[in-house]
Structure 1
Amino acid sequence: MRVCLTFSTVSMAACLVCAGAAMTAPVFAAPPITITSQASTDGPIRYTVKVTSKQFGNAQETRAIRSGQSDDYTWKMTPPGSAIQVAEDCPGYASLALDANGAMMRQIQLRLAPVVAADGTANVQLSFQAQAPAPRGIKGANGAKQTDKALKCPASITASQVVRFTMPTNGRSKTLTLNDGTQISLTARR
């Protein structure tokens, strides 16, 4: 059996023109993508955060963060004396800083979000939240009763503040004093 293909001169010429155009057509590629998170100014930087507060306690930790990322720190500490037991019926029970036994503790939460500029300066947003039992101790909560005794709920003190600032990444420290008197000292090193 013999297969015979016949092409017209016009169709053959059209195929050759299309093939030639495809071979000589310029290729338009997208420009290269620059990955800034791997640039030297954006590499991981070690931030040491030190918190000093009469009301909420003292804490310190060092972590590595890349530019444009954020990191959350949470510290829980026993208040002076001891942790204060809290009844589950207390208002706001779910939002209190509690230990495994349901006793109220001091808690500091801090979010650090640095963005490093080309010159190595870090533009930082720091969010600070803290709570602790009030120094006065335990108070009754609006006459609520629990097993024929007045329900005892701790009075608490809280603080919340957002601060934006710049700092060097060469190891020099930056100290901030918040509205409640808490001092936060930050050091950034490559």
Structure 2
Amino acid sequence: MNRRSNALRAVIAAVLASGALATAHATPGIRVLSEAPNDGPIKYTVKMTSKTFGNEQETRTIRSGESDDFTWQASAAKGAQPVPDGCPQLSSIPRSADGAAVRQVQIRFAPVVADNGSANVQLSFRGYAPKGTSKVTVAGKALQCPVDSRVSQIVRFTMPTSNGSKKTVTLDDGTQLAITASRK
């Protein structure tokens, strides 16, 4: 009987030990911290309303920590203004394929999403718009060169990235940029 009880004790000990091992190796439950990870794609729209640069809108997708550059070009408000090759600062004047000065806006959008889901955004805005011509003498030659409006500004702001969040910023020249953001 002693052998039987020792064998029974051994079986009971083995069963208990295997149960303890299974408990020790169990994986913890999965906890969902947010519905959209902070590094996931952000769909954003920039809508510009400006007396100088016109009205434009663009929708794009970006991830936290990336930057996105885009350019809008449109004909000048007063029609095509040819730019002679001898004009001063010729390389900094945006021109169409036929050499006419055009309105141009360049935007760089760079969000970094925090743990709470809000984005710290840096937006760089550069705009050029011809607004008539002026007589300029270059090397004894009279030229009609564009007179222009230029704006270069960097703005920083924080905005939520939940669906349809909106932030409007006004630049120094009165141009308004309405930014909406949503997580994909």
TM-score normalised per structure 1: 0.74
Structure 2 unaligned runs (5+)? 1-35
Which residue identity does 2:146 align to in structure 1?
A: P
1:179 shift after superposition: 0.4
Listed as ranges, the matches of 1:164-183 within 5 Å are 164-170=156-162, 171-183=164-176
CA distance in 2, matches of 1:122, 1:116: 4
Q: Say yes or no: does 1:51 pair with 2:43.
A: no
CA distance in 2, matches of 1:144, 1:167: 52
Structure 1 unaligned runs (5+)? 1-38
The CA RMSD measured in Å over matched residues stands at 1.3
Q: Which runs of 4+ in 1 moved over 2 A?
A: 142-146
Please tell me whether the aligned partners of residues 119 and 160 of structure 2 are also in contact (alpha carbons under 8 angstroms).
Answer: yes
Q: Say yes or no: does 1:77 pair with 2:74.
A: yes
| Partner of residue 187 from structure 1, selected from 162, 180, 183 | 180
Please tell me whether the aligned partners of residues 87 and 138 of structure 2 are also in contact (alpha carbons under 8 angstroms).
Answer: no
CA distance in 1, matches of 2:138, 2:145: 11
1:111 shift after superposition: 0.4
1:69 shift after superposition: 0.2
Please tell me whether the aligned partners of residues 145 and 151 of structure 1 are also in contact (alpha carbons under 8 angstroms).
Answer: no
Give the aligned length: 147
CA distance in 1, matches of 2:129, 2:39: 36
CA distance in 1, matches of 2:58, 2:138: 42
1:144 shift after superposition: 4.8
CA distance in 1, matches of 2:140, 2:106: 32
Q: Say yes or no: does 1:141 pair with 2:136.
A: yes
